[in-house]
A and B are shown apart, each in its own frame.
Chain A
Amino acid sequence: MGHADTQVAPARKSPLPEGRWLDVEGIRTRYFEAGSGEPMVFIYGGNFGTGDSASSAYTWSNQIGPLSAHCRAIVFDKVGQGETDNPKNDDYTMAAVVRHAAAFIRALKLPPVHLVGHSRGGYAATRLTLEHHDLVKSLTVVNSGTLSPGVGTNEVVLAKPPHPAGTRECVRWVYQNYSFNPDIVTDEWVDAVMHTLSLPKYQESVRKLGGEKLNTKLFLPELAREKRETLQWINEGRLQRPVQVIWGFDDRTAVIDRGVELYQMFARHERRALFHVINQSGHFPFREHPERFNALMRRWLESLA
């Protein structure tokens, strides 16, 4: 029995299927898909223009392959993130992200999808459902401090990483502090983030949001205004789709109480509302415990069939 580090590493299988491109209302959009059957569309978190971390379709690399055995699993790069073009006319807003996501689903001509959103993507998925009921069959929200009411604690945990922005050390530090088990932040994950950060169009978004201050002048105030409206809509019972909330128990940036409160808002109006808590998981339960996360998703599909 040899130690793992003395063995020859097997050739690494690409974590995502081969990427495709789609023109979505003039935005060149990168997406990945595998499998057949009912579509399940994943929306990752983060936003354009962040210099110390950067999400992309890779975030869901542990879902697309395994879940493609049970559904048509699709992940796309949001406008301005991953490899997808930046928004037109400097429209660096969450509303533009939601519009693009909805247009992407329409462009693929999908039947109503099982939408899964994490973190900022959980907000986008919920807002998309509230605005485009015809596109959505069910909603799953994962550790979304952006959507849930209450105090967000990202700054408490992540303000001013102790490494220069954009370095591997910085990226690793950020995701390790999001996580329960720091070892889940693999080189492959850091590589994927570094690739996004290196793209000229991404660097442009960093300049826009930071240098030109669109983050504080446009993105954050617009999001705050729309979040108020979004929470009102949920409280009014406007979601009207089966919904589950999945939460990593040890997330310090979106603590468990915020998940409870969000679940209870959904549950007041929707019979098919479920709350799932996964122990020893930080912000990314689908990366810390992919097998159990995927089993919940597969059985969710089955229960709604």
Chain B
Amino acid sequence: MIVFIHGGIPGITPYASGAHIWGPVLERFKGATALEVRGKTIDAMSEQVRNAIAGKGRCHLVGHDLGGLLALSVAIDAPHLVSAVTAVASVAAAPTGDGLADFTHAFPPAPLYGRESQRWALERVSYSHHHIDERLLDACVTAAAKQTRMSREDYAEHFVPSLMKAKSRFYEVCRTEGIKVPCQVIWGSHDPLSTFDHGLWLFRGIAQKQRVSQFHVVNRAGALPFREEPAAFHQVVAAFADVVDA
């Protein structure tokens, strides 16, 4: 069974992510489910994912950005629950390094989480605006109204330290015993939040010890390749699932 895990942090990411973010591509995967995940730390969020999939047999976790790191964390803690991981545009899991300040979302227009503000945010992480339709904006506006936004204090005090801790652990495992399940990394060619190299280095990390690992680039896609190029995204995920979930 394929389980999709969204990314984004309410109150920090200037569009509301959630199960809705995957959009029409979900219809191409029979029997797939998309989770809603909330929490102040990576540990809390990983635990939610774990609880959600426990008892469902081994699941192929497909995680976007932060969801990719959650999927990898669950694969480390509970490999018996996971058949494979696909990390999509997972800037959260990619090496942090001493990067440059990212201004992609620096000055969102008010009112925050309104329809136009979210449209602005989604456009800025995309290669093209064409996938940003009324259905997506409706879903984002609805999701934003339901979300509890993380405060800047919680973000700095709790979330970021938990993120750095989870990443350290992930790279340590990659270097030592290795991730125990097959993994692939999918990257958008024009992701404004990261570079091609970030994706390739995330793959290199996993590839150190996990034989069954792959890296894929989807062209003319930003941070949401599953929305911008659903056919290509489906090809890559379905092909991996054909073999590793069998």
Contacts and interface: CB of A to CB of B under 8 A. Distances in A.
Contacts of B219: 267, 270-274
Interface string A260-300: 10010001001111111111100000000001100110111
A210 B71 CA distance: 55
Given A292-B240, A298-B239, A303-B232, A249 B216 contact: no
Contacts of A280: 207, 211
Nearest to A245: B217
Given A249-B207, A291-B243, A275 B235 contact: no
B235 A300 contact: yes
A275 B236 CA distance: 10
A16 B19 CA distance: 46
B189 A267 contact: yes
The number of chain B residues touching the other chain, given as a range, is 20 to 34
Contacts of A275: 215-217
Given A292-B243, A298-B239, A300-B235, A274 B207 contact: no
B215 A298 contact: no
A299 B242 contact: yes
B235 A299 contact: yes
B234 A303 contact: yes
A302 B189 contact: no
B196 interface: yes
Contacts of A291: 243
Contact of B243 (A295, A300, A303): A295
B194 interface: no
A277 B203 contact: yes
A274 B216 CA distance: 7
Contacts of A272: 219, 232
A279 B243 contact: no
Contacts, number: 77
B214 A277 contact: yes
Given A263-B217, A271-B219, A271-B220, A276 B236 contact: yes
A295 B240 contact: yes
Given A267-B189, A272-B232, A299 B217 contact: no
A267 B221 CA distance: 11
Range for the number of chain A residues in contact with chain B: 20 to 34
Contact of A299 (B203, B220, B238): B238
Contacts of A302: 235, 238
A274 B236 contact: yes
A276 B214 contact: yes
A295 B211 CA distance: 17
Nearest to B218: A274
A197 B210 CA distance: 37
Interface in B198-215: 200, 203, 206-207, 210-215
B210 A295 contact: no
A276 B232 CA distance: 11
A296 B235 contact: yes
Contacts of A274: 216-219, 232, 235-236
Given A267-B219, A273-B219, A303-B234, A278 B214 contact: yes
A253 B216 CA distance: 21
A242 to B, nearest CB: 9
A303 B234 CA distance: 8
Contacts of B213: 279
A249 B204 CA distance: 9
Contact of A292 (B189, B196, B214, B232): B214
Contacts of A271: 219-220, 229
B88 to A, nearest CB: 14
Contacts of A298: 239, 242
B78 interface: no
A249 B206 CA distance: 13
A273 B234 CA distance: 14
A276 B216 contact: yes
A218 to B, nearest CB: 37
Nearest to A266: B219
The 4 closest A-B pairs by CB, nearest first: A295-B239, A277-B215, A275-B217, A299-B239
19 contacts: A249-B215, A260-B196, A263-B217, A274-B232, A276-B236, A278-B214, A279-B212, A279-B215, A280-B207, A291-B243, A292-B214, A295-B242, A295-B243, A296-B236, A298-B239, A298-B242, A300-B235, A303-B234, A303-B235
Given A274-B232, A303-B234, 9 more contacts: A260-B200, A270-B219, A279-B206, A292-B240, A292-B243, A295-B238, A299-B234, A300-B239, A302-B235
